[in-house]
Structure 1
Amino acid sequence: MAKRIVTRIGDIFCVELGNGYKSYFQYMLKDCHYLGGAVIRAFKTNYPVEYEPKIEEIVKDEVAFHALTYLRAGIDENTWYKIGNSKEIGQEELKSFVFGLPQEEDTTIGYEKANELDANMEPYEHWYVGYAGCERKDIGKIPEFLKSIIECDGVLPYTCIVDRIRYGYYTWTMTFYDEVKRKPWPWVDSYVRKADPLTRETTYFHFHGSRAVREVIVDCDGNITRLSCENPVDGCHTLYAGDFGEINWRYKEFITEDAFEDVWNKSDKSR
């Protein structure tokens, strides 16, 4: 039987992150211009699970991001739970950010198909942008100044919201990130891999924040090259010096820490 929980503007929800910490977000607005999704503001502080902050403390925290989601799905899946309500809903924030998507970002095709979007799509000529609770309008190409305040439009599943809270970015494949770069939290470790069909090499990356700290290159013969901040160059290979967000990582390219460590510690076939 579904939980009988009534949601109201101002409700505050807790997300337990599974690492001994928890975080909070607040329901700000129902966006009737975008499928009736709940506009939320997620707060930046991660609290130890045993600590119980007061409502006033939570809503005074720095806002990490805004997003659209369906609250009921997260409640039903025990991903988040309501802990209270505050009349302080950050109304003044609603004009400090905008939601937007490029024309090619089709939110009607389903999440699995979206995760397989062509990585070589052309630059986007039409972005549909608008304030929360307002109609989105075609503004043409996205201007640079908007990239720092725009949030990905569309009603995102609860798994995406938890990813954003945990990592600072969405792991879901998004053409949105071709223009607006992913920005990990400075303390977050991210693990990704990229296959090169020409050289038939697969490169595994370990980022801390936005910086690559380790890299493993495995060639088609199983030979392994390991790079790190301490040893950034080996032959023709150099540790990736770019920002994490300069590459629009696809969903299937994200891997676990264990998967990276397995490759890092794997024996080189050439030895």
Structure 2
Amino acid sequence: MAKRIITRIGDVFEVQLDNCKKYIQYIANDMTQLNSNVIRAFVEEYPLGYSPILENITAGKVDFYAHTVLRWGIQSGLWYKVGRISFEEDVNVLFRTYDEDGYVPVSKRWLVWKINQPMKFVGELRGENRDAEIGLVINPDEIFERIKSGVYKTRFPCF
């Protein structure tokens, strides 16, 4: 029988790369986007032999935020849990997607939202909306690739 995977907000996961390791933290569930897991990935790289000090890791600079399915990443061996640290911050990250009814190669029909808040139509991306994270639920393989290389390997339409 397969072991049941339980994740909780605040869990920290290690992602082993070729020459180093990085960390992600589970910070929320977003009801606006399919109740998916929201993570934050940290910039700092650590040596392969590093024993994680969760307070230091989670105090580091955030590289990006994303929606994903943590369980799939665990099952695929892309990351594994190394601990849990309390996370009760009000995350003010902005996500974006385009209005599919109005899809054009360069969309002027963007929607933005913050975690668990309604989507808001903004039309063209201007100001702070240009910095919004991609709001799709991203496959764990893509998350791993972005942690490793800084970009998603798949080109998402309109992003």
**Matched residues in 2 for 1:3 and 1:157: separation?**
22
Which residue pairs with 1:21 in the alignment? 20
**Structure 2 residues not aligned, in runs of 5+:** none
Displacement of 1:167: 1.4
**Structure 1 residues not aligned, in runs of 5+:** 106-120, 178-271
Q: For 1:225-261, what per-residue CA distance to the aligned partner results, in whole angstroms no more than 9, with x for missing partners?
A: xxxxxxxxxxxxxxxxxxxxxxxxxxxxxxxxxxxxx
Displacement of 1:156: 0.5
Which residue pairs with 1:83 in the alignment? 82
The answer as to whether partners of 1:26 and 1:41 remain within 8 angstroms in 2 is yes
Q: Structure 1: which amino acid aligns with 2:13?
A: F
Equivalent of residue 108 in structure 2, options 125, 134, 142: 125
TM-score relative to the length of structure 1:
0.55
**Matched residues in 2 for 1:12 and 1:176: separation?**
31
Q: Secondary structure at the match of 2:82?
A: strand
Displacement of 1:173: 1.6
TM-score relative to the length of structure 2:
0.91
Which residue pairs with 1:249 in the alignment? none
Q: For 1:2-28, what per-residue CA distance to the aligned partner results, in whole angstroms no more than 9, with x for missing partners?
A: 3323111100011111x1211101000
RCO (CA 8 Å, sep 6+): is it higher in 1 or 2? 2
Which residue pairs with 2:148 in the alignment? 166
- Asked if 1:8 corresponds to 2:45, the answer is no
**Matched residues in 1 for 2:122 and 2:2: separation?**
42
Equivalent of residue 147 in structure 1, options 124, 130, 140: 130
The answer as to whether partners of 1:99 and 1:131 remain within 8 angstroms in 2 is yes
Q: Structure 1: which amino acid aligns with 2:136?
A: G
**Matched residues in 2 for 1:70 and 1:136: separation?**
21
**Matched residues in 2 for 1:71 and 1:3: separation?**
15
The answer as to whether partners of 1:42 and 1:65 remain within 8 angstroms in 2 is yes
Which residue pairs with 2:63 in the alignment? 64
**Matched residues in 1 for 2:128 and 2:35: separation?**
28
The answer as to whether partners of 2:106 and 2:158 remain within 8 angstroms in 1 is no
Structure 1 runs, 4 residues or longer, greater than 6 Å off: none
User: Alignment identity in percent?
Assistant: 35
The answer as to whether partners of 1:2 and 1:76 remain within 8 angstroms in 2 is no
Which residue pairs with 1:156 in the alignment? 138
Q: Secondary structure at the match of 1:48?
A: coil
Alignment size in residue pairs: 158
The structure having more radius of gyration, on CA atoms, is 1
**Matched residues in 1 for 2:15 and 2:87: separation?**
20
The answer as to whether partners of 2:95 and 2:134 remain within 8 angstroms in 1 is yes
Displacement of 1:101: 1.1
**Matched residues in 1 for 2:81 and 2:59: separation?**
18
- Asked if 1:34 corresponds to 2:17, the answer is no
